[in-house]
Amino acid sequence: MLTILQKEFNAFLNSPVAYVVLGVFLVATGLFVWVFPDSSVLDYGYADLQTLFNLAPWIFLFLIPAITMRTFAEEKKAGTIELLLTRPLTDGQIIGGKYLACLLLALLALIPTLLYYFSVYKLGSPEGNIDSAATVGSYLGLALLAAVFAAIGILASALTRDQIIAFLVAVVGCFLIYSGFDSLASVLEGSPAYYIGQLGIAAHYRDLSKGLIDSRDVVYFFSVVAVALQATRLVLRSRNW
């Protein structure tokens, strides 16, 4: 698995994809957090990074499928998928290596945003007047969100040999699981609305963003990742049916 991880990650670094993803994410978040008057921390008057944590999931919604779309689709189109699958590696190791490479690149985009936290920490009045617990929870939520989106993107790429189709399927899948259940719950009332909302990511992400790190939310994210990766494994195994 480590061999696949290294190969995939090096492939990202040797292509424009990694730099476009990092550049777009940092430029977009930087403009909204610091420049645009309607969302700028400097004009907002409160020492928090809510703008970043509200915006980042929507940027990830497009950027992570752009990362994952080539993982299996490119192998199928180039005709190297059979060669890859006949190597002395299990399907799980192949999927795990590609998945971790995509997730690592997505998490790499979050590291420079730590400068936003330290800047707001220093700018607070008094200094340090920022809810650090909520910030930690929000970063954890973003990392888990990236893990889910990467798993869905890997699954979408395994379903087709066309990278554009893989991208579109992943975007739709990520949108539905992030916002679809929440939107459906908003038109319902009572207990059904609550339980349907809990099926989507948004409700769990909001809880983590408040600094409430509940094991149930963490288990939810890992469960979705496990289901998506297992589905990817079934898709790859279907070649033998």
Residue 56 near residue 63, CB atoms below 8 Å: no
User: pLDDT at position 104, please?
Assistant: 93
CB of 44 closer than 8 Å to CB of 137: no
Cβ atoms within 10 A of the Cβ of 212, count? 12
CA-CA distances (angstroms) from residue 156 to 47, 67, 111, 127, 139? 39, 12, 27, 46, 26
Range of lowest pLDDT (102-111, 161-170, 179-188, 229-238): 179-188
Rounded mean pLDDT, 19-39: 85
For residues 66 and 167, is the Cβ–Cβ distance under 8 A? Answer: yes
Domain count for the chain, please give it.
1
> Which domain range does residue 82 map to?
2-240
Percentage with pLDDT > 70 across the chain? 96
Q: What is the pLDDT of residue 159?
A: 92
Pick the residue with more confidence: 150 or 12? 150
pTM over 0.85: yes
